[in-house]
Chains A and B, each alone.
Chain A
Amino acid sequence: MVSARATRVWLQIHTWTSLISMVFLLMLCLTGLPLIFHHEIDELLEHPIAAPPMPADTPALSLDRLIESARNQLPSQHALFVTLKEAEPLVTVAMSATAIPVPGQFHRITVDARTGAVLGEEPPHQGVMDIILQIHRDMFAGLPGELFLGLMGLVFVASIVSGIVVYWPFMRRLEFGTIRDRSSRVKWLDMHNLLGIVTVSWALAVGLTGTINTLAVPLSDLWRAQTMPALLAPYQGKPIAASAAVDAAVTAVRQAFPDRRVSSVTMPTTARFGSPQHLIVWTKGKTALTARMFQPVMVDAQDPTKLTAPPVAWYLYALQLSRPLHFGDYGGLPLKIIWALLDIITIIVLSSGLYLWIAKRWGSRKKSAVVVGSTAPVVVSP
């Protein structure tokens, strides 16, 4: 039994946690809506490079030969990553003019895996969708902005939990789903209660995973700091390996981990995301659940039989699992449409909540003014 006093406290918690996070959540919901269809919109706006039709069993060339093609295209540049496309026989080589890359200064050369022909360069990503993504992720404020939005995610969760608590006193005399027509305020109160309570699971999942996603950079840094120094200590200060047999490394990893798929290779580098003496072969699982679990394997650039697979920390698994649950990209187009509809319902819950708060303050003040006179009292709501 929740006492009237406890109800008032919970209602205050619900009001203020909602008001604090309101502006940011409306921004997140509005920018999130087009981002759900990021992939589809990108395909519509940009024309992705496609592999020319060839017989399905045409063998692929060695990765080293494909990287050579990209290097010939931009001879003065450093090859940093090689990404193997899953759906098409294409390989993308990320090239940078500097050994330590500057964000956004990549050239991404797409090579046909069967002929070694350079098919083109993917345009650098700075379209409308990327601007929307950046607003959604950090509001152009970098890591502090990202962490701040993560905090707002937690405030949102507090607002949902307190909302569940006050749902009871509001609905004690009403059947589930009742929308009363008595007045605009009562109608929107009922609507707020209905739409809010039916979307609780989804809103909690997206809110919590959103907060976890804001920790991506610090968590990856933490893992790197815990794992890499010990592994890299013997190679510290050594120059970048002159040559690296990428194909031999990938073959060795495929043999050692037959249940995993190679998704990309980080070339030897002095930058902090790699090793000067190793190729880092990134693998992921083959099932729907493990396809989002990335596991790096370090391969000695001189001797591809020397493999090291650093254990992935539990918090990186949590991070990797949080991504699909936030983006809604794990169940085809129908799930994206469902995600968008739930997002729109959340926008209605947020704005009706704001309306109820404004209507109560404004309504009470008007009524008090009639009773007390022109001295506008400080309304202690509710």
Chain B
Amino acid sequence: MKGPISSAIASDRDERRSAWQVFRAPLMIGLVSAAGLAFGLFGDGLWDSLCWLGLSVPILLSLIHGVPWKRSAKQA
């Protein structure tokens, strides 16, 4: 393996995280969005609102972490 991808996998034994530590956040997000998917089927009104809420979580996290405003703010 070559390049930055392999360096992201290998070495650095000091700060390794366990499977639980790595998957804790994704698991929560997955459960919340799966619940959102299901809630919308149960009914209208409140159920629909819960559905929108649950499925907004992956979108909001994509925006919070994926859009570079934080990093440019740090550098400034």
Q: Size range of the interface on B?
A: 35 or more
Given contacts A186-B4, A342-B55, A345-B62, contact A170 B42 (CB under 8 A): no
Contact between chains at B5 and A185 (CB < 8 Å): yes
Partner of A179 from the list B3, B41, B68 (CB cut-off 8 Å) is: B68
Interface centre among B37, B43, B52 (most CB of A within 10 A): B37
Contact between chains at B2 and A198 (CB < 8 Å): no
Given contacts A173-B15, A289-B43, contact A332 B48 (CB under 8 A): yes
**8 Å CB contacts to A: which residues of B9-33?**
9-10, 12, 15-17, 19, 22-26, 29-31, 33
Which residue of B is nearest A182, CB measured?
B4
Contact residues of A: prevailing secondary structure: helix
Contact between chains at A205 and B52 (CB < 8 Å): no
**8 Å CB contacts to B: which residues of A191-244?**
191, 194-195, 197-202, 205
Given contacts A4-B10, A173-B16, A345-B58, contact A360 B3 (CB under 8 A): yes
Task: Give Cα A150–Cα B51 distance, bound, in whole angstroms.
Answer: 27
Q: Specify which chain B residues have a CB less than 8 angstroms from the CB of A8 in the assembled complex.
A: 1
- Does A7 lie at the interface of the complex (its beta carbon under 8 Å from any beta carbon of B)? yes
- Does B8 lie at the interface of the complex (its beta carbon under 8 Å from any beta carbon of A)? yes
Task: Give Cα A170–Cα B26 distance, bound, in whole angstroms.
Answer: 14
Contact between chains at B2 and A364 (CB < 8 Å): yes
Interface-side segment among A18-26, A76-84, A310-318, A333-341: A333-341
Contact between chains at A198 and B64 (CB < 8 Å): no
- Does A168 lie at the interface of the complex (its beta carbon under 8 Å from any beta carbon of B)? yes
Q: Specify which chain B residues have a CB less than 8 angstroms from the CB of A189 in the assembled complex.
A: 4-5, 8
Q: Specify which chain A residues have a CB less than 8 angstroms from the CB of B43 in the assembled complex.
A: 287-289
- Does A63 lie at the interface of the complex (its beta carbon under 8 Å from any beta carbon of B)? no
Partner of B37 from the list A173, A181, A201, A288 (CB cut-off 8 Å) is: A201
Given contacts A185-B4, A201-B37, A202-B37, contact A171 B17 (CB under 8 A): yes
Q: Specify which chain B residues have a CB less than 8 angstroms from the CB of A176 in the assembled complex.
A: 22, 24-26
Contact between chains at B33 and A382 (CB < 8 Å): no
Q: Mark B49-70, 1 if CB is under 8 A from A, else 0.
A: 0011001111101101110100
Given contacts A171-B22, A173-B15, A360-B5, contact A335 B40 (CB under 8 A): yes
Q: Size range of the interface on A?
A: 35 or more
Which residue of B is nearest A359, CB measured?
B3
Task: Give Cα A191–Cα B61 distance, bound, in whole angstroms.
Answer: 12
Task: Give Cα A145–Cα B38 distance, bound, in whole angstroms.
Answer: 30
Partner of A202 from the list B10, B41, B55 (CB cut-off 8 Å) is: B55
Shortest Cβ gap from A207 to chain B (Å):
13
Contact between chains at A195 and B62 (CB < 8 Å): yes
Task: Give Cα A201–Cα B37 distance, bound, in whole angstroms.
Answer: 9
Task: Give Cα A300–Cα B76 distance, bound, in whole angstroms.
Answer: 79
- Does A177 lie at the interface of the complex (its beta carbon under 8 Å from any beta carbon of B)? yes
- Does A34 lie at the interface of the complex (its beta carbon under 8 Å from any beta carbon of B)? no
Given contacts A170-B8, A173-B16, A201-B30, contact A335 B62 (CB under 8 A): no
Q: Specify which chain B residues have a CB less than 8 angstroms from the CB of A167 in the assembled complex.
A: 22-23, 26
Given contacts A179-B66, A183-B4, contact A201 B34 (CB under 8 A): yes
Task: Give Cα A363–Cα B53 distance, bound, in whole angstroms.
Answer: 42
Q: Specify which chain A residues have a CB less than 8 angstroms from the CB of B58 in the assembled complex.
A: 198-199, 201-202, 342, 345
Interface centre among A167, A181, A202 (most CB of B within 10 A): A202
* A-B contacts besides A199-B62, A201-B29, A332-B48, 8 pairs, CB < 8 Å: A172-B9, A195-B66, A198-B61, A201-B58, A288-B47, A335-B48, A345-B59, A382-B1
By a beta-carbon cutoff of 8 Å, the part of chain B in contact with chain A is 1-6, 8-10, 12, 15-17, 19, 22-26, 29-31, 33-34, 37, 40-44, 47-48, 51-52, 55-59, 61-62, 64-66, 68, 71
Instruction: List 21 interface pairs A-B (beta carbons < 8 Å), by A numbering.
Output: A4-B10, A164-B26, A167-B23, A168-B23, A170-B8, A176-B22, A176-B24, A177-B61, A177-B64, A177-B65, A194-B65, A200-B30, A202-B33, A202-B37, A289-B43, A331-B40, A331-B52, A335-B48, A338-B52, A356-B5, A363-B3
By a beta-carbon cutoff of 8 Å, the part of chain A in contact with chain B is 4, 7-8, 164, 167-174, 176-179, 181-183, 185-186, 189, 191, 194-195, 197-202, 205, 287-289, 321, 324-325, 330-332, 334-335, 338, 341-342, 345, 356, 360, 363-364, 367, 382
